[in-house]
Structures are given as C-alpha cells and as structure tokens.
Structure 1
Amino acid sequence: MLLDVNGNQAYCYTGGKAFDPGLPAIVLIHGAQNDHSVWALQSRALAHRGYAVLAPDLPGHGRSGGTPLSTVEAMAAWVLAVLDAAGVSRALLIGHSMGSLITLEAAHIAPQRVSGLALLGATYPMRVSDALLEAARTEQDAAIDMVAAWSHAAWLPGPSTAGPGTSVINTARRLMQRMAARGADGLFHTDFAACNAYANGEAAAASIACPTLFVQGKKDMMTPPRLAQLLTGGIKHAKIVGVDAGHAMMSEAPDAVLFALLRFAQDAHEVQSNG
C-alpha cells in the first residue's frame, strides 16, 4: 500500500489483506536500519484475524521515499501523519527498538490517536556506545556485523520457528546491508544517533494512560530488560511479557511475540469498545 505522507511516498505493508480503515487498526514500527519485513509473521497473522494492519517503512528506509528523519520526535510526528493519510483516527501502536521510542513519543504527543501501546525491546535512555556510533558513521559493514551478532541469542532459530535451520543472524545482516545499499548515505548513523539523543522518555512514559505492553527478550544484549526500568516504572499499569530470545525477538521467538501481541490487541480493543 502506497500513501502520500508530507509530499513523499510511504510504503506500508498490510499483511496480505486489503486495508480497511473501518477495522480496528494496528501500526507496527520497525527499528534502526530495518524495514517492514521484520514484522512478516506478526503483521500477516494480525491482518488475517480482523485487524487493519499498517507496517510502514520509515522515510528513507525500504520502499519509502524522503530523507531519513534525524529525531525520534520527527519520526513520531510522521507516524501520526501516516494515520491521517490512511484515514485512521485511532490505532494500537507497536514498536520495536527505535520503533518503541517512536511509538512512545507518538502516544505522548497525540494520546487521543492511540488505543494501545506495545513496546518491544524498549529501554530508556537508549544509549548507543561511541564505538558503535563511530562504526555506523565510518565502517557501516562492521557496524552491521556487530548489531547482527548482538541482536540474537543464537545462530539458528528453534525447531518450532518458520524455516528451521535458517540463519537468523545472516537474514538480519542481509536486511541491514540492503538498507545500506538502497537507503540514504549514513542511514545507520542517523538512526542510531536519533535513539541516542532522545531525551523525552520519562516524561512520555509518565503521560501514558492507554493499555500498554512491554515485550522483553530475556537474552537481549542490545536493550537488556534491566535498562527499561524508567519506562516500566513510569507506566505503572503496563503489563510485561518476557520471551526466550535476544533483541531480534520477532524472528527468534515469533510465536511467543505473536501470541503476546494478539492477547494484548484483544484486551485493548475490549477496553476501547467498553470505554
């Protein structure tokens, strides 16, 4: 699905179903140097269970045009503009890693637009080491290799995941390499710098009143659950689900992530319907 957002083409994957803005809407936001494909299983499953799904490529990522945005605040405003372009008044927002900060900020600045908030691999502050920031700027291939390795708890997925025997690390590496080849110069550094600079997490968390879910990888080395305490403590009504995976939990524990999101979406929709 292609939308015009702020004068640029924005691509949104709709989970293999025609997008119907009359259905309960779910928007899934990817992380740094990624695109909509990280949500492949979850977006399709949600779309085939009666939800209107939008999994956009952020500006300058994947199939979306425009210049990559340099701040979490700008990306949050862009997500709200996607809702406008799609004719969606209110949606459940789901974000992973950098996407978790984006959706958190969007819920902060426009709470009336957000029916629920699911944050995967979220920490605050989302610090990026100086060494990794410099590698992202000057040695992008090395930075991709580092992030691909650190994002996964194991080289191979478990036997119950789709495509057992597939190297999830190499799949993630190829996606980031493709983003580097097709995207704007310095895309990785732009994304990482935005995560590193975001300073509104505590205030945003304190403002959240909608149903909220944290999904945390128990073996996450990129955004360890212990570093999410400013967010989980700030949103005291939030539920927390742990999955047996690293940072790339959507591919390492796809079923566990899906089941957590399905239950949360159902509960959030009931709250909205009864409210």
Structure 2
Amino acid sequence: MTTTVVMVHGIRTSATMWRSQLAHLADRGVAAVAVDLPGHGTRMAETFTLETAWATIDDAVRTAARSGEVLLVGHSMGGLLCTAYVGAEDPPPVDAYIGASCTALPRGAALTTYRVLARGFDRLPGRGFPIAEWVLDRTLPDETRADFGAGGYAYDAQDAALRSLSILDLLAALRRIEVPTWFINGQYDQLRVNERLFVSLVPHAELVVVPRTSHLVTAMRPRVFNALLDVALATMAGRASGGSAR
C-alpha cells in the first residue's frame, strides 16, 4: 500500500525546512509533500487564521489519502496544529502521526511571555534577523542551514499565529488520538515541558528525546530525524501486513 508523508512547518519558517526530509523520502521512493501555512513561505501575503491553517493541512491529507495511507508530521506550531487536527472529534484520514518539538500547552503565562518576547525581538534592528542568523549559523549543520530560512521568515504572521494557539483544546484532542504516534523532542527544547503528559494521554504514543539537540530537531539532527521517519513508516508497513504494531 502506498504511504504519503505530509509535513507541516513551524512558526515563521516554511515548507523549505523539510528539504532534507523530502530528499530522504524521495531516495526511498516514498511520496511526500510539505505545505506552506497561510502567512508563511509562498503564502506570506495571506493572513494566518486557524481555519485556513487547518484547511491547508486537511486538503493535503485528504489528497494524499486518495492514494493510500498518510503519515502526518508537524513541527513546533505545525505540530500543535496537527495534534489538534488528528485529535478532532471527527477523525481525519491520518494513519500515523509524528509531533516534533510541540509538547507544551500553548496557554496562560507561558504563551503570554513568549508573545511578549517575540514582540520585543521584532522591535530590534532588522526585526532580530542578524541575531537569529548568528544563532542558526552556529547550531545548524551545513546540509540544512540554507534550507531553514529559504522560504523567508513570516514576521508579520507571528503574533496572530501565537494568539490563535491559545484556543486549542489539546488535552481533549490528545485523548482522542488513536493512531500510532511519536512525540520527538530535542534534549534542550524549551517545549518539552508537558511531554510526559502528552504521551500519557495518547494510547499508542512513544516519546523520543534526541540528545544534544535544540528545538530545531528536524534541521539540527536531520539524519536522526530521517531515521525516525523510517521507524514510523516501518511501523505502518508492519500494521498493514498484519504484523506487530510496534
């Protein structure tokens, strides 16, 4: 059975962050698509809303599902959106799910603080771009460094996107997820704070913590992340053939 991997990027970046994963999957002969959310990448001129973001994910998933099974992969904000999407009351046609760097509840003082910090960073010269580039130069390997920001940075969509996340009922969504699920975090990821809670609420979930890695686990350790994609695909293949689920 054909499996398609659908990938959803995090806040401010774009589909280009998945180039390493797209190349890896292409080498394996696995169909894959990386979407741009509204207000990001090729859709920078659009306004970000939860409704249009979910519509983007849903369109990609349902298009992929026409050909077979779907592995949905989301990073950071994209992971939070995908968690809510997979755990909807009316489950979408997703057969397995990877949520990367997204195991924190986006609400309360933590979300308010993050928004305040993001606004302050946005007021710096160049909207903080020189600082961000300095950090990325020193943390990302050459093989992914150019890809991460190749689609541009969605500064204008950032606050609206963060604000919208506060209405997500992730606890309810997590309890409804019934497909094989992997939560993948970097060891030094600030969004690890609720990882044990996330895993405890999903019956078929596993937690993978990648050592010596930050929030940008897909770009900082691309070969490790690609290997974890292979694990998910092998699990799906085993289930489809009637073998063990894990």
TM-score with structure 2 setting the length: 0.80
SS in 2 for 1:111: coil
Go from structure 1 to structure 2 and tell me whether the alpha carbon gap of 1:155 and 1:31 turns closer, same or farther (over 3 Å shift).
Answer: same
Stretches of structure 1 that go unaligned for 5 or more consecutive residues are 1-21
Alignment of 1:1-275 (within 5 A): 23-64=2-43, 67-71=46-50, 74-85=52-63, 87-88=66-67, 90-109=69-88, 110-127=90-107, 128-134=110-116, 136-137=118-119, 140=122, 142=124, 144=128, 148=132, 155-157=138-140, 161-163=141-143, 168=145, 178-180=152-154, 186-195=156-165, 197-221=166-190, 223=191, 225-244=192-211, 245-274=213-242
Measured in 2, the distance between the counterparts of 1:147 and 1:84 equals 39
The aligned amino acid for 1:102 is L
Deviations 1:72-119 (A, max 9, x none): x65234311233456556411000011111211221225350010001
Q: How far off its partner does 1:265 sit?
A: 1.6
Go from structure 1 to structure 2 and tell me whether the alpha carbon gap of 1:49 and 1:40 turns closer, same or farther (over 3 Å shift).
Answer: same
Q: How far off its partner does 1:122 sit?
A: 1.4
Measured in 2, the distance between the counterparts of 1:269 and 1:68 equals 38
8 Å contact kept, 1:31–1:97: yes
SS in 1 for 2:10: coil
**Number of residue pairs matched?**
236
The aligned amino acid for 2:225 is V
SS in 1 for 2:153: helix
Deviations 1:211-236 (A, max 9, x none): 11111101113x1x232233111113
Taking only the aligned residue pairs, the percentage that are identical comes to 23
Go from structure 1 to structure 2 and tell me whether the alpha carbon gap of 1:139 and 1:113 turns closer, same or farther (over 3 Å shift).
Answer: same
8 Å contact kept, 1:115–1:210: yes
Question: How well do the aligned residues superpose, as a CA RMSD in angstroms?
Answer: 3.2
Go from structure 1 to structure 2 and tell me whether the alpha carbon gap of 1:233 and 1:65 turns closer, same or farther (over 3 Å shift).
Answer: same
The aligned amino acid for 1:271 is R
Q: How far off its partner does 1:199 sit?
A: 3.0
> Is the helix fraction higher in 1 or 2?
2
Stretches of structure 2 that go unaligned for 5 or more consecutive residues are none
The aligned amino acid for 2:172 is A
TM-score with structure 1 setting the length: 0.73
